[in-house]
């Protein structure tokens, strides 16, 4: 079992930055694929970024967001720069014991989410 706890969300102005953190309970985090998803009101949950031995990003965030991990601290980060109002959503951390995928249903463990609001 893996427990995930997100933090770092908040209110930011357009073109601002935020860094989200996801702390995992399990010490074998390094073997898991970790990902960030987001869900805006009235919309489906969508893939944002994932990291295992490589990284993958949604086209909408490439060049603006960076996913990274600190295995020693069991933490995954999402650095978000140049934020836009369209980035407003609840952001969720997820984990799976497998390869990187963008599919929501492929992830076994989820955090409770952290809200990011970008004002125009």
Q: Give the integer Cα–Cα distance in Å for 74 and 29.
A: 6
**Token pair recorded at residue 22:** 């996801």
pLDDT of residue 112: 97
**Token pair recorded at residue 56:** 């993958």
CB atoms under 10 Å from CB of 60, counted, come to 14
Indicate the pLDDT class of residue 93, thresholds 50, 70 and 90. Answer: very high
pLDDT of residue 27: 65
The chain-wide mean pLDDT, for the chain, equals 94
Indicate the pLDDT class of residue 30, thresholds 50, 70 and 90. Answer: confident
Whether the per-residue pLDDT at 47 is higher than 70: the answer is yes
Phi-psi region of 103 (alpha: psi -120 to 50; beta: other; left: phi over 0): beta
pLDDT of residue 102: 97
Sign (positive/negative) of CA torsion 103, 61, 3, 52?
positive
Indicate the pLDDT class of residue 72, thresholds 50, 70 and 90. Answer: confident
pLDDT of residue 73: 87
Indicate the pLDDT class of residue 107, thresholds 50, 70 and 90. Answer: very high
pLDDT of residue 18: 98
């Amino acid at each position: 079992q893996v427990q995930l706890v997100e933090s770092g969300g908040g209110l930011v102005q357009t073109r601002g930055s935020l860094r989200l953190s996801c702390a995992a309970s399990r010490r074998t985090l390094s073997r898991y694929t970790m990902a960030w998803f987001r869900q805006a009101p009235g919309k489906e949950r969508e893939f944002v970024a994932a990291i295992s031995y490589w990284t993958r990003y949604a086209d909408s965030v490439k060049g603006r967001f960076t996913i990274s991990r600190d295995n020693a601290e069991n933490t995954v980060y999402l650095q978000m720069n140049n934020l836009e109002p369209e980035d407003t959503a609840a952001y969720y951390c997820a984990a799976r014991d497998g390869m990187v995928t963008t599919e929501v249903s492929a992830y076994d463990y989820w955090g409770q989410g952290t809200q990011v609001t970008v004002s125009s």
